[in-house]
Chains A and B, each alone.
Chain A
Amino acid sequence: MTTPDPAYNFAYLDEQTKRMIRRAILKAVAIPGYQVPFASREMPMPYGWGTGGVQVTAALLGPEDVLKVIDQGADDTTNAVSIRAFFKRTAGVATTERTEEATIIQTRHRIPETPLTAKQILVYQVPIPEPLRFLEPRETETRTMHALQDYGLMHVKLYEDIATHGHIATTYAYPVKVAGRYVTDPSPTPKFDNPKMNRNAALQLFGAGREQRIYAIPPHTEVVSLDFEDHPFSVQTWDRPCELCGATDSFLDEVVMDDQGRRMFVCSDSDHCARRRSARPEAAA
């Protein structure tokens, strides 16, 4: 831990704001999958850069925490580096790129490949928290639909996928049902990560800054991806391993190598990939 910048309160937010966010987090945990409105503050970064996740992390963070931030699985991308630097400066907390060393992991659109433990909290940055929003734009209506568990429209949407494409073509932000009650948006994670949300030992918190919503999935909670008996949920697969570490069980990104059409498939989880490469030095060359 380093000394936080004395120009700021610990972890940037003022204490009244933290109390307000903490109250919202507790209600979110008590009502799994329900989106709790909160008075989202303007943060020193634009919407879309994780202002919701940052506010949740700021309300959680203590001097003993070790923070990891990932953007699309990677620790070394702009968003992840900036948010890590932000909390290093305002809270002086220790940061890490190793999944198992972190107590709080803020993520944009991935769940780490390394299984999480009961001592960890996963904080998601969420752009559109309402899974029904693109089906029904009116907040008054979607709120009533959640109250009545009126989720038929979502099944129609998935059915239309099948009618048009022959399979459920939704590949990210794939809707889930949490604890048998609320249909919830897992944030734009690839559906590859949906099974990891189910009965995860870690607490999962979701913050949407622009949309002013916080929701949660408590540890060991049932999370079911919506599907049909004859079109069961399935995750993406690749016909090749990661070209850097050889992993066959991780989510792969397609990287364009040149303008000759050369492509490379590599792990999106940079920590997972680096660890596997360092364990097998002959493959690193």
Chain B
Amino acid sequence: MSLAPGFEDPVLEGQGAFRGVLNAMARPGSVQALAGLPQAPAPLSPVAAAIALTLVDHDTPLWLDPALAASQPLRAWLAFHCGAPVVDSPAASAFALIAEPLAMPPLGSFALGSETYPDRSTTLIVQVQGFHDEGPLLSGPGLAAPRRFGALPLPSDFWVQLRGNRALFPRGVDVLLAAPDSLAALPRSLQVEAD
């Protein structure tokens, strides 16, 4: 069994991916294209793989959803390129990779941080098929004006959960959505309009 490569140029491709993630996080619901993507073993998508290579390392416990955890080649790839300890409990993770959003655990089961250290919370990396602008109305820091945003597929109660996540502020999780060649972010500061 041979190991798939990571970034071709870890320094510059990692930097490019980080700026994409940062732009997405600073402007919630905006779609950021990513280039220079690695080919990780299925079912990890190239964009989710690029985010993992950019941010995950031996300092960040990683949670994998059952679809990803079942892939031995993927676990070997993550162990070699990221070196992150894989944890069983979502609440113990700094990052969580999710390939099947419809089966994802509730947001409240991940690390939510504390009132004194709200930064000690999980960043979710959720693989989706694509984005659209017919979802709920988003507003808050990073948005000059409210905008509609949606992604598919997401659990039917995802936006209700995200409102619950906002109610915990400054505690809460941050969500990165990884589409096939782009990404968007839903930081905890985001206000989601009720339906």
Chain B residues contacting A219 (CB-CB under 8 Å) are: 26-27, 142, 144
Q: Which residue of B lies closest to A21 (CB)?
A: B18
Complex alpha-carbon distance, A60 and B14, angstroms: 10
Q: Which residue of B lies closest to A32 (CB)?
A: B141
Given A15-B10, A220-B143, CB of A23 within 8 Å of CB of B55? yes
Report whether A221 and B57 are in contact in the complex, using a CB–CB cutoff of 8 Å: no
**A41 at the B interface (CB under 8 A):** no
**A267 at the B interface (CB under 8 A):** no
Complex alpha-carbon distance, A179 and B54, angstroms: 28
Report whether B55 and A19 are in contact in the complex, using a CB–CB cutoff of 8 Å: yes
Chain A residues contacting B47 (CB-CB under 8 Å) are: none
Report whether B119 and A24 are in contact in the complex, using a CB–CB cutoff of 8 Å: yes
Q: Which of A32, A61, A118 contacts B189 (CB 8 A)?
A: A32
Complex alpha-carbon distance, A166 and B161, angstroms: 49
Chain A residues contacting B12 (CB-CB under 8 Å) are: 10, 62-63
Chain B residues contacting A203 (CB-CB under 8 Å) are: 22, 26
Q: Which of A23, A59, A181, A220 contacts B169 (CB 8 A)?
A: A181
Q: Which residue of A lies closest to B173 (CB)?
A: A30
**A22 at the B interface (CB under 8 A):** yes
Complex alpha-carbon distance, A24 and B118, angstroms: 12
Q: How large is the interface on B (under 10, 10 to 19, 20 to 34, 35 or more residues)?
A: 35 or more
Q: Tally A residues with Cβ within 8 Å of B.
A: 44
Interface of B is mostly: loop
**B89 at the A interface (CB under 8 A):** no
Report whether B54 and A30 are in contact in the complex, using a CB–CB cutoff of 8 Å: no
| Chain A stretch 212-243: residues in CB contact (< 8 A) with chain B | 217-222
**A128 at the B interface (CB under 8 A):** no
**B46 at the A interface (CB under 8 A):** no
Report whether A22 and B55 are in contact in the complex, using a CB–CB cutoff of 8 Å: yes
Report whether B189 and A59 are in contact in the complex, using a CB–CB cutoff of 8 Å: no
| Shortest distance between the CB of B38 and any CB in chain A (Å) | 15
Chain B residues contacting A25 (CB-CB under 8 Å) are: 22
**A126 at the B interface (CB under 8 A):** no
Q: Which of B18, B25, B119 contacts A34 (CB 8 A)?
A: B119
**A155 at the B interface (CB under 8 A):** no
Q: Which of B14, B116, B142, B143 contacts A15 (CB 8 A)?
A: B14
Complex alpha-carbon distance, A137 and B189, angstroms: 29
Q: Which of B15, B94, B187, B189 contacts A62 (CB 8 A)?
A: B15
Report whether B27 and A61 are in contact in the complex, using a CB–CB cutoff of 8 Å: no
| Chain A stretch 14-30: residues in CB contact (< 8 A) with chain B | 15-16, 18-20, 22-30
| Chain A stretch 195-209: residues in CB contact (< 8 A) with chain B | 199, 201, 203
| Chain A stretch 53-67: residues in CB contact (< 8 A) with chain B | 59-63
Report whether B116 and A144 are in contact in the complex, using a CB–CB cutoff of 8 Å: yes
**B59 at the A interface (CB under 8 A):** yes
Report whether A26 and B57 are in contact in the complex, using a CB–CB cutoff of 8 Å: no
Q: Which of A9, A26, A27 contacts B11 (CB 8 A)?
A: A9
Binding site for B on A (CB under 8 A): 9-10, 15-16, 18-20, 22-32, 34, 36-37, 59-63, 118, 143-144, 146-148, 179, 181-182, 199, 201, 203, 217-222
Binding site for A on B (CB under 8 A): 10-12, 14-16, 18-19, 21-22, 25-27, 54-57, 59-60, 94, 114-119, 121, 123, 140-144, 169-170, 174, 187-189
CB-based closest 9 A-B pairs = A30-B187, A147-B115, A218-B142, A27-B119, A221-B141, A218-B141, A220-B144, A30-B174, A62-B15
Instruction: Provide 20 A-B residue pairs closer than 8 Å at the C-beta atoms, listed in order of the A residue.
Output: A9-B11, A23-B55, A23-B60, A26-B174, A27-B121, A29-B22, A30-B189, A31-B119, A31-B170, A32-B141, A32-B189, A34-B119, A62-B16, A179-B140, A179-B141, A181-B170, A203-B26, A219-B26, A219-B27, A221-B141
